[in-house]
Structure 1
Amino acid sequence: MYFTDRGLEELVTRRGEEEVSLAWLADRLQEFVDLNPEFETPVERLATWLARLDDDED
């Protein structure tokens, strides 16, 4: 199990029944980066990956 798995499991346990918009998620990620600028690159990579999930792979 990766360390992040515990955080993801907690997220599902605490907030798994909620529905949120992508705009809300983007705002929370930006807030996180503002508080933790050292994580800017990983958050950017995650956001880009999520944004491109439906792109056709060549």
Structure 2
Amino acid sequence: MYFTDRGIEELVERRGEEEVSILWLGERLREFVDLNPEFETPIERLATWLARHDSDDDEE
């Protein structure tokens, strides 16, 4: 198990029943990077991966 799995598990446990918009998620990610600028690159990679996730499925 990766260290990040614990955070993901907590997220699912606490908010797994909620529905959120991509706009809301984008705002939370920007807020996180503003507070933690050292995470700018990983957040950028995550956001890009999420943005392109469905388009990757179309190519297979």
Give the alignment's TM-score, normalised by structure 2: 0.91
| Identical-residue share of aligned pairs (%) | 81
Structure 2: segments with no counterpart, 5+ residues: none
Partner residue of 1:31? 31
Partner residue of 1:18? 18
Q: Could you say what secondary structure the match of 2:17 adopts?
A: coil
Moved over 3 A (4+): none
Taking the TM superposition and a 5 Å limit, the aligned residue runs for 1:33-52 are 33-52=33-52
Deviation at 1:57, TM superposition (A): 3.6
**Greater helix share, 1 or 2?**
2
- What SS does structure 2 have at the residue aligned with 1:52? helix
Between the two proteins, the alignment pairs up a number of residues equal to 58
Instruction: Give 1:5 deviation, angstroms.
Output: 0.3
Letter paired with 1:53: H
Q: Does 1:7 align with 2:15?
A: no
What is the RMSD computed on CA atoms of the aligned residues? 1.1
Deviation readout 1:32-53 (Å, 9 max, x if unpaired): 0000000000000000000001
